[in-house]
Chain A
């Protein structure tokens, strides 16, 4: 009996963990208690040193001093402030008008705004609640299929998980020991492809089930010209001109002025120039009543400015090397605060709500991590990781077999566990095995992030469905515009609506396994987000006698500065202090010498 326990303590511990968790007591404490209980058993059996628990304060300290975790409060706070700022509502109104006259147009607008909000913020709730309150009633009013409407909204909200900046990607990078910038770069194309797949699905519905997704009727098109035309042509013209302005600015000014600029930097600067041009035209048009632009075009430009500005703050500053991804979150939160204040949407009460919710959310997240660290202290002590590794490396099919099994396991676990639990408990066990099998960890991380996105839309526990349920009409209601009695949206309809999107998610996982290039592009040096050059917080007294070692620790392989035109990379930097070096890099980037 004792021998059996001694030999199988890791599997027994894991099985006990499942029981502990399913009891329904808070996850953080069940995890920690499991670690402590089996730690005592292990000490009793002579498997572990009696001093095992002396390591606990150090583990806790490790969690405290991990400044990547600051991304949790930053992005949560930003999302909550954004939700309160009314930006999403304006976007949905206007973009809905832009696409509305098309069949399926409102659904396209939801996917588009979902992706745009996803590029602005890193949390799910913000988008789903706004879209459920603004777009859902309109879609219902004009006869959208309820399941289709609900599913599109819930799924589009979860895009925040995979399109950078995303809390999921930050935590994933941290748990896999990779740089957040690389993780972002590896997720950009998969995020866009996924958005494309959603759009294809909407298109398919619009073509084959036109009754599910009718165009907005004439009387619902509010943004019209005085002569009754839609003004869309004018919008297309301004977009083309803005793109031209961006390209010209890049070619004629920026590249001659800063020949060393990397592609990512040029993209950010050019996009900013194009947006500034469009904004300038729109402002001139409005102030001087020039009638250069249709009302539609002007309005669209105005609503797109705040989200683009925030994207610049959160992502642009990272691409330009001004801020770390964590600081990008703080910049975004500050920007969202300023914007909400400028729109006079932010009262003291709303700010306090946002702070309180942020504090509560970050507390539960960090405590799951603390619990997981207590658990792993014992679990690794009894060689649980060796057991897991053995289990997973003995799978048939090598890399592919491993990836398929792991994805199925995560898909199933995602029904019960949310993303934070999965990444703190499961990912640390899988990462080293994947690494050993020669799987690129960025690709692996993005793959799992796409997979875990389903944990937000799995019936019945998906958070996005839950948020949508909380804002969708649950009883008969009177439509404000038509005055007709409308039936409620049932929970079953929300569930059924989500299922096609869960399947799209599975397709995406398959595509990403088949075409790892989508993620591996982060290595190619194309859009390199070299955030490492801004990590200046390296202790000065760190031994610098081994520059290679230091560089590796900084995560700064030579790829960061490989010029695009294929010339040789710069020679490795001289062993200066890390701080000097980072400062040099920054200077080089801005051409200031």
Chain B
């Protein structure tokens, strides 16, 4: 169990590291997109490559962040009933869901998208539009993203089992770091400063 927990920790670290770098792309895409609109207006310049780059980069954001979002329990759930279950029952649900929902889907898409990528990698195919970008880097994001997601799924599985067997803490309660809560605290302080 300890060995598995170490592996799980390693996966968590990898996905956290990926997430920390990838989120900068959000800012970059925002700037590229407003840049596109401004360039078109002011200099009548428009390029398909820059337009495509927007969604290439956004695809990178959501595919590469799939793992870290799972780690932070950020994939939304319907907890009308589940919210009332005990922590142990919820852990059992997560184990069931990971084994029968997440992993089959994620491994299936990963394995199907690999040839989808290699085909364009070998042929150096370029997107349909004039001046478009080469396809394979965007296609490569698919298997990588789903690999990161599968790994994180395995890591979550280990953590749930550790919790149920008494080897680890309740994995769902761990996330105390919440940006919105921090922000609310700041606005509150500022408001009190004014009053």
Which A positions have Cβ atoms within 8 angstroms of B?
A: 20-30, 32-33, 36, 53-54, 56-58, 60-61, 64-67, 69-70, 73-74, 77, 83-84, 86, 89, 93, 125, 129-130, 133-134, 137, 317, 322-324, 326-331, 333-334, 337, 350-364, 366-368, 374, 415-418, 420-421, 461, 470-471, 480-481, 534, 536-541, 579, 583, 586
Contact = CB atoms under 8 A, between A and B. Distances in A.
Nearest to B42: A322
Contacts of A24: 77-79, 81-83, 85, 90, 93
Contacts of B24: 355
Contacts of B104: 33, 36
B139 to A, nearest CB: 8
B26 A331 contact: no
A542 B75 CA distance: 38
A453 to B, nearest CB: 18
A359 B71 CA distance: 13
Contact of B23 (A337, A352, A418): A352
Interface residues of B, number: 83
A278 to B, nearest CB: 25
A351 B179 CA distance: 11
Closest 6 CB pairs of A and B: A24-B82, A25-B97, A330-B33, A539-B129, A26-B75, A540-B130
B102 interface: yes
B67 to A, nearest CB: 9
A84 B105 contact: no
A289 to B, nearest CB: 25
B183 A33 contact: no
Contacts of B65: 359-360, 363
Interface string B65-87: 11011101011111111110100
Given A53-B108, A74-B30, A322-B40, 12 more contacts: A23-B82, A29-B101, A67-B55, A77-B26, A330-B30, A357-B180, A359-B22, A417-B78, A471-B188, A480-B192, A537-B51, A540-B129
Interface in B105-129: 105-106, 108-109, 112-113, 116, 128-129
Contact of A89 (B31, B44, B190): B190
A22 B76 contact: no
Contact of A66 (B55, B129, B188, B191): B55
Interface stretch (B5-13, B56-64, B163-171): B56-64
21 contacts: A24-B82, A24-B93, A26-B77, A29-B75, A29-B97, A29-B101, A53-B112, A58-B116, A66-B55, A67-B51, A73-B58, A74-B30, A84-B183, A327-B37, A328-B37, A359-B65, A359-B69, A364-B69, A364-B75, A367-B66, A538-B129
A342 B185 CA distance: 22
A219 B96 CA distance: 61
A93 B80 CA distance: 37
B58 A54 contact: no
A363 B34 contact: no
The main secondary structure of chain A at its interface with chain B is helix
Contacts of B180: 125, 129, 357, 470
A359 B15 CA distance: 13
Contacts of B194: 93
Contacts of A317: 37
A27 B109 CA distance: 17
Contacts, number: 249
Nearest to B100: A33
A534 B83 CA distance: 47
Given A363-B74, A366-B62, A470 B19 contact: no
Contact of B184 (A74, A133, A329, A368): A133
Given A21-B78, A33-B100, A57-B113, A89 B191 contact: yes
Give the most central of B75, B94, B129: most A CB within 10 Å: B75
Interface of B: 19, 22-27, 29-34, 36-38, 40-41, 44, 46, 48, 51, 54-55, 58-59, 61-63, 65-66, 68-70, 72, 74-83, 85, 90, 93-94, 96-97, 100-102, 104-106, 108-109, 112-113, 116, 128-130, 132, 138-139, 141-142, 179-184, 187-188, 190-192, 194-195
Contacts of A323: 37, 41
Contacts of B93: 23-25
A216 to B, nearest CB: 14
A32 B105 contact: yes
A56 B83 CA distance: 32
Contacts of B78: 21-22, 24, 27, 416-417, 421
Given A24-B90, A26-B76, A57-B142, A355 B192 contact: no
Contacts of A421: 76, 78
B112 A331 contact: no
Contacts of A69: 55, 58
Given A353-B179, A359-B65, A360-B72, A334 B31 contact: yes
A206 B151 CA distance: 58
A379 to B, nearest CB: 15
A355 B76 contact: no
Contacts of A416: 78, 80
Nearest to A540: B130
B29 A73 contact: yes
Contacts of B46: 536-537, 579
B62 A367 contact: yes
Contacts of A129: 180, 183-184, 187
A539 B97 contact: no
A60 B37 contact: no
A501 B124 CA distance: 56
A574 to B, nearest CB: 20
Contacts of A539: 48, 128-130, 132
A545 to B, nearest CB: 17
Contacts of B29: 70, 73-74, 330
Given A23-B97, A355-B27, A480 B195 contact: yes
A554 B57 CA distance: 25
A327 B33 contact: yes
A541 B48 CA distance: 12
A73 B61 CA distance: 10
